[in-house]
Structure 1
C-alpha cells in the first residue's frame, strides 16, 4: 500500500469522491475542503494509505513542491491593492493569536504539572508547541533539535502525532467557525454573509488551453527552482536563512501585475486542485495509531496540546472577533496562519472564498515561520 502511484491515486480519488459528495448529497453543506480532510484521515487510519509515521515520497513531494506551487498559481490572480484590504487587521489578529498560543503553553504546563509528567523535557515541549502554533512545524523541529527531544523516540513521535491531529482538527474548526459565528454575530462587510463557503466557484469550470497550461507549469517550476537557488545563495553568502516561500510569493506577485499573465487560463483551477492535494495530506497526517506507542503519556500530551489550542482559540476569536469585532474570516485565517503556517492559511482563505485575503494570509504565515522559533525559546528559557 506504500507504492507512490497507489498513494497518489487514492488521494486524487478522495478529491473526486469529495467533489461528488459535495455536489450530489446532503454533505454539500460541509464543502469539498472539509470532506477531503475527513475522508483522507479515515483512509489513512484504516491503513489503506501510509500514515504520517510510515510517511511516503508522495507526501514529501506535495509538501515540498505542490504546496508552494499552489501558492504560486493562486497569487497569479492577485493585485497588490488586495494587501490593503486586510493588511493591518490580519497582522493584528495574527499577533493576538501568537499571544494566545504563548499564554496557552504557560497555562498548559501548569495545569498538567509539566515538570512531573514530562520530566526534564517539559520546557522543550512547551517551546516546541509554542513555536509550531505560531508559525508551523519548522519551528517545532528547530526547537526539538536544540533540546535533543528527537533522541527521545517515543516522546517525539507521540508529540508529532498529537500535533498533526490537532492541526487537522483546527483546520476543520477554522472552516466552520466563521460560518457559525457569522450567523450569531454578524459583521458588516463580511463576505461570507454574501457568498457561503460551500458555493461553487467559477474557476472550477475554467477552460484551460494547452498553451496556457504549459506556460503556467513552466513559470511555476522555474519559480520554485529560482527560489531554492536564491535561498541557498543568500544563506551561503550572508548567512541569511530567508524562507523560500517568500521568494515564491514575491515572484508570483510581480508576474501577477502584468495583464498578460493574469489572463492565462487555468491558474486558479490549478491552484484549487493543488490546495486539495495539500489538504488531503493534512488529513493523512491525522494519525491515531501513533499514540498507542507511548501509552498513558499520550493522554497528557493530548491534554497539554489541547489546552494550548483552546486558549489560543478563545483569545483570538473571543478578543479579536468578539471584543474587537473583526471580520470572522480574517480572525480564522490569522488563527490558521498561527497553527498551520502559510500554506494552511492560504488554503483556508481559498476555501472561504476570500481571494482578497490570499496575499495577507501568506505574508503573516511567513512571518510566523520566522517569529515562532524565537517565541518558543522565549517561553522555554525565560518564562519557564
Structure 2
C-alpha cells in the first residue's frame, strides 16, 4: 500500500478529518469535546490503524506542516490581537507558567523517587529525565538540546521510543486540558474570569468569519513573507527564536488599520491550526510504546506520572490564586505541549485575549526548559 505514504493522499485525509471534526464539533454530542480534540482523536485512530503514516514512518509532509504551517497559523491568529490584551492576561499567565515549570520539575523528581525508572533504564534514565523536564517545560526544542549534549540521539531505539512516549503523553494531555475546564467548573466554581466582555473590542480586533479574495491574497502573502523575513532575521540573530520574530511582525501588523480590516485571518489561522493538530494526532503511535515492552512501559509510567503531578500542582495553585480554569489549562498546555497547542486551546475556548500571552509563555518555556533539564540531570 504505497499510497499510504503519498503526501497528496495524506494531505487529503488530514483535510477530510478537519472537515469531519468541525461538523461533528457542531453537534450536541461533539460540542462536549470541540473540533480541536476531535481532529486529534480522528487522526490518531487512523494512524494506529496504519491508514496514514505515524511517528515511526513519518513523511516529509508532516515535517513541512511542523516547520511552515504551524508558525504561519500563529501569525494569522495574531493578526486579531491587540497589545493591550497582555495587561489583563499576561502577568497572571506568566506567573502561572513559572509555577507550571516548577511543577514539571517537581513531578519528574517525585516520579523518579517513587517509580525508580533508573532500575530499568540505567544511567540513560537520568538523561531521559532531563529531556522530559525540558520538553514538558516548553517544548521539543529543549528535549533535543539536552539529548544532543549527552549524545542520546545516537541511542537509536531508546531515543525513538522516548520520542514515541513523549508524543503519546503530549497528545493525551492535549485531550485532558481540553476537558479539564468543563469538569472543574462543575466541582470547583470559578471566581476569576479574565475574558474580555464580548460587547467591546478594546483588546481584540473583531473578526468576520467570511473571507474574500482580496483579504485572502493579502493574508497568504503576509504569512509567507513574514515567515521568510523571520527566518532570515533569525539567521542573523541566532539567539532570538524565529517564532518570536514572526510573532512580533504579526503583532505589529495587527495594530495597523489595513490589516485590521482584512477579513478571515482568524478563520484561516484556525484552519491551519487544525491541520497542525491533525499531525499531532497522527504522531500518537501506541504500538511504538508497546514494542519496547518493559522499557516502553517504564517510560510511559514515568512520563505520565510526572505530567499528572504537574497537572495536579498547577490546578491546585492556579485554583487558589485565580480559578480561571481555561487560563490554567492553556498555561499547562504551554508547558507540556508548547506555544502552538496552547494557542489551539485559546481558540477552542474562544479566549482570543489569551493568544498573545500564550505566545509569550511558550517562548519563555523554550528559554527555561533546557536549563531545568540540565538541573534535573545534575540533581539526580
TM range (shorter): over 0.9
**Deviation for aligned residue 1:20:** 2.1
> Structure 1 CA distance, aligned partners of 2:349 and 2:27?
20
C-alpha displacement of 1:325: 3.3
Partner of 1:248: 246
Distance (whole Å) between structure 1 residues aligned to residue 157 and residue 110 of structure 2: 24
* Residue aligning to 1:374: 371
Unaligned 5+ runs, structure 1: 196-202, 236-240
1:313 aligned onto 2:322:
no
Counterpart contact for 2:192–2:323, Cα < 8 Å: no
CA contact (8 A) 1:45 1:289 kept: yes
Aligned-partner SS, 1:186: coil
| Residue of structure 1 equivalent to 2:144 | 141
Picking from 342, 357, 379, the partner of 2:339 is 342
Q: Moved runs in structure 1, 4+ residues, more than 3 A? A: 191-195
1:165 is the counterpart of 2:168? yes
Query: 1:161 touches 1:291 (CA, 8 Å); kept in 2?
Result: yes
Alpha-carbon shift at residue 111 of structure 1 (Å): 1.7
2:10 to 7, 15, 20: 7
- Partner Cα distance (2:368, 2:47) in 1: 32
After superposition, the C-alpha distances for 1:160-217 in whole angstroms (9 at most, x for unaligned) are 111001101101111111121122222235378999xxxxxxx997221111111111
Match of residue 266 from structure 1: 264
Contact 2:107 2:307 in 1 (8 A): yes
Structure 1 counterpart of 2:359: 362
What residue in structure 2 maps to residue 304 of structure 1? Answer: 302
For the 8 Å contact 2:88–2:194, the answer to whether it is kept is no
Give how far 1:11 is off.
0.3
- Any conservation in 1 of the 2:73–2:272 contact (CA below 8 Å)? yes
Alignment match of 2:54 (pick from 47, 51, 56): 51
Q: Does residue 280 of structure 1 match 2:278?
A: yes
1:331 and 2:328 correspond: yes
8 A Cα contact 2:208 2:264, kept in partner? no
Q: Distance in 2 between matches of 1:58 and 1:25?
A: 34
Task: Classify 1:7/1:139 alpha carbon distance in 2 versus 1 (closer, same or farther; 3 Å).
Answer: same
Within 5 Å, give how 1:17-96 maps onto structure 2: 17-24=20-27, 26-96=29-99
Shift of 1:24: 4.1
- Residue 293 of structure 1 deviates from its aligned partner by 3.1
Within the alignment, does 1:179 sit opposite 2:182 as a pair?
Answer: yes
Give 1:289 shift.
1.4
Name the CA distance, whole Å, in 1 between partners of 2:165 and 2:149. Answer: 20
Any conservation in 1 of the 2:80–2:207 contact (CA below 8 Å)? no
Question: In 2, are the aligned partners of 1:104 and 1:311 still within 8 Å (CA)?
Answer: yes
Distance in 2 (CA, whole Å) between partners of 1:271 and 1:289 is 32
TM-score of the two chains, using structure 2 as the length reference:
0.94
Q: CA deviation at 1:101?
A: 0.5
Aligned CA distance change for structure 1 residues 301 and 187 (closer, same or farther; 3 Å): same
Q: Give the TM-score of the pair, scaled to structure 1.
A: 0.93
Deviation at 1:8, TM superposition (A): 0.4
More divergent stretch after superposition (107-116 vs 364-373) = 107-116
User: How many residues are matched?
Assistant: 370
Cα pair distance change 1:194/1:226, threshold 3 Å: closer
Preserved CA contact (<8 Å) 1:109 1:122? no
8 Å Cα contact 1:174/1:333 also seen in 2: yes
| 94, 97, 101: which one aligns with 1:98 | 101
Whether the 8 Å CA contact 1:97–1:334 is kept in 2: the answer is: yes
Counterparts of 1:85 and 1:204, CA distance in 2: 21
Aligned Cα root-mean-square deviation (Å):
1.8
* Offset from partner CA, 1:274-295 (integer Å, 9 cap, x none): 1111111111111011123322
* Distance across 2 between alignment mates of 1:291 and 1:336: 22
* Aligned residue among 190, 193, 207 for 1:190: 193
1:222 aligns with 2:228: no
SS at 2:191's partner residue?
A: coil
The aligned counterpart of 1:153 is 156
Contact 1:182 1:193 in 2 (8 A): no
Partner of 1:208: 211
